[in-house]
Amino acid sequence: MSQQTLTENNSVIPQRASTPSTDFERDNFDTWVMNTYGRFPLAIEKGLGCRLTDTQGREYLDFVAGIATCTLGHAHPALIETVTQQMKKLHHVSNLYYIPEQGQLAQWIVENSCADKVFFCNSGAEANEAAIKLARKYGHKVLEIEEPVILTANSSFHGRTLATITATGQPKYQKDFDPLVPGFEYVPYNDIQALKAAIADIDEGNRRVAAILIEPLQGEGGVRPGNLEYFARMREICDETGILLIFDEVQVGMGRTGKLWGYENLGVEPDVFTSAKGLAGGIPIGAMACKKFCDMLSPGTHASTFGGNPLATAAALTVARTIENEGILNNVIERGEQLRTKLREIAAKYPDLFVEVRGWGLINGMEIKEECQLTSIDIVKAAIDLGLLIAPAGPKVLRFVPPLIVSDFEIDLGMELLCEAIEAAIA
């Protein structure tokens, strides 16, 4: 059974349209666009639900969702209606004025999280930048530290700006961009003894730890969930010392894990958390939310021209209300269990190839054995050829992050295509 023969209602999908629907020339694209991405050789033209269609008319089952971004899939009627009506009404005025939609979204986030205040921007990196600035100001003003340090984890990912690649505990993202931003140190993920030792070692004169910036589940670092005991002890340490606990929820927030926020899987609350990707279902937005005691940013200390604009916040409100009203979190839990069960069956079928399957909700990883010659890219490319889009999370982990509206049929179909892709990659 292949992507060529089945859809959700068992209709036929033609693998190739008779003529291309768009005159797309890859060479022209590469002539004008900076080569900052190792792009796969397909051009996507349109989408519907969990399906995408390229410029040649070929259809794909989308288990990437814009890298955990298209919460409601593609062309969701509620999002189409909201964006259309908001564009007719007002799309941008700047934060010189009150923006009703921004206030409503902030209220929704506060009422549905541990936060008291929200700052809006345009991306996950910007949200983390805001959290970094807040942490430094908190370190200076509240903890009275002259040289505040922020601890982050090895294998983390926090963005592509200069400060956020410094915060990112992966040297490959930092190469050739030195001098990096001072004030960051790294510790192993899920290792409480290493965390305690780092805090003690950095406590020297004017230089101390002001904050810990960490992902509840490491996404780019290989889809690695946080350990409950580790995060519980980390919370205790922060309470004892006054260190701010900041969670990067850019990839795991907004329902992706089966709970609204990733921290809910760990039984602890952060002092600050960031959100972006899935917040507006693909419309660019970012948010940094904090508790009242660390609300440190005042007029003139931070800002964003486009942050919290009417279009983006209206879209995010629609995503939020759709998650609430259409039982999407239940679907994430059920489809996530289904997906992990299928992935574990596949892993058991290829014991010489895979190490384990791990994840929460609809963010899941499948790790390839280090000694195996196959890489995640090998299987990703084979899957594309068969009409399934999945993403790597490093050279040895396959990442599965479909839209949160994915159906049981689509999970089954995706796993059948994955099996075919593995066989093709092995051959």
The domain in which residue 7 lies consists of 1-63
Q: Are residues 179 and 45 in the same domain?
A: no
Residue 256: which CATH number?
3.40.640.10
In a domain, 51, yes or no: yes
Contact yes or no for 276/62 (Cβ under 8 A): no
251 and 293, same domain (yes or no): yes
Residues 117 and 28 in one domain: no
CA distances (Å), origin 219, targets 111, 251, 363, 364: 26, 7, 8, 9
Taking only the tens of pLDDT, the chain with its 427 residues reads 333 334 444 333 434 333 344 567 878 898 999 999 999 999 999 999 999 999 999 999 999 999 999 999 999 999 999 999 999 999 999 999 999 999 999 999 999 999 999 999 999 999 999 999 999 999 999 999 999 999 999 999 999 999 999 999 999 999 999 999 999 999 999 999 999 999 999 988 889 999 999 999 999 999 999 999 999 999 999 999 999 999 999 999 999 999 999 999 999 999 999 999 999 999 999 999 999 999 999 999 999 999 999 999 999 999 999 999 999 999 999 999 999 999 999 999 999 999 999 999 999 999 999 999 999 999 999 999 999 999 999 999 999 999 999 999 999 999 999 999 999 999 8
- The answer to whether residues 189 and 245 belong to one domain is yes
Examine the domain organization and report whether 46 and 143 are in the same domain.
Answer: no
**Does residue 266 lie in a domain region?**
yes
135 and 45, same domain (yes or no): no
In a domain, 196, yes or no: yes
Rounded distance between C-alpha atoms, residue 418 and residue 329, angstroms: 25
Question: How many domains in the chain?
Answer: 2
- Asked whether residue 220 falls in the same domain as residue 306, the answer is yes
Same structural domain, 192 and 249: yes
Q: Is residue 406 part of a domain?
A: no
Helix or strand holding residue 364 (H, E)? strand 363-368
Q: Does 55 lie in the same domain as 183?
A: no
Residues 292 and 207 in one domain: yes
CA distances from 422 to 3, 223, 343, 364, 400 (A): 15, 20, 12, 17, 15
Residue 334 lies inside a defined structural domain of this protein: no
Residue 421 lies in a domain: no
Question: Does 301 lie in the same domain as 178?
Answer: yes
336 in a structural domain: no
**Is 249 found in the same domain as 313?**
yes
The answer to whether residues 262 and 289 touch, using CB atoms and an 8 Å cutoff, is: no
Out of 290, 325, 360, a domain closes at 325
- Whether residue 1 is contained in a domain is answered as yes
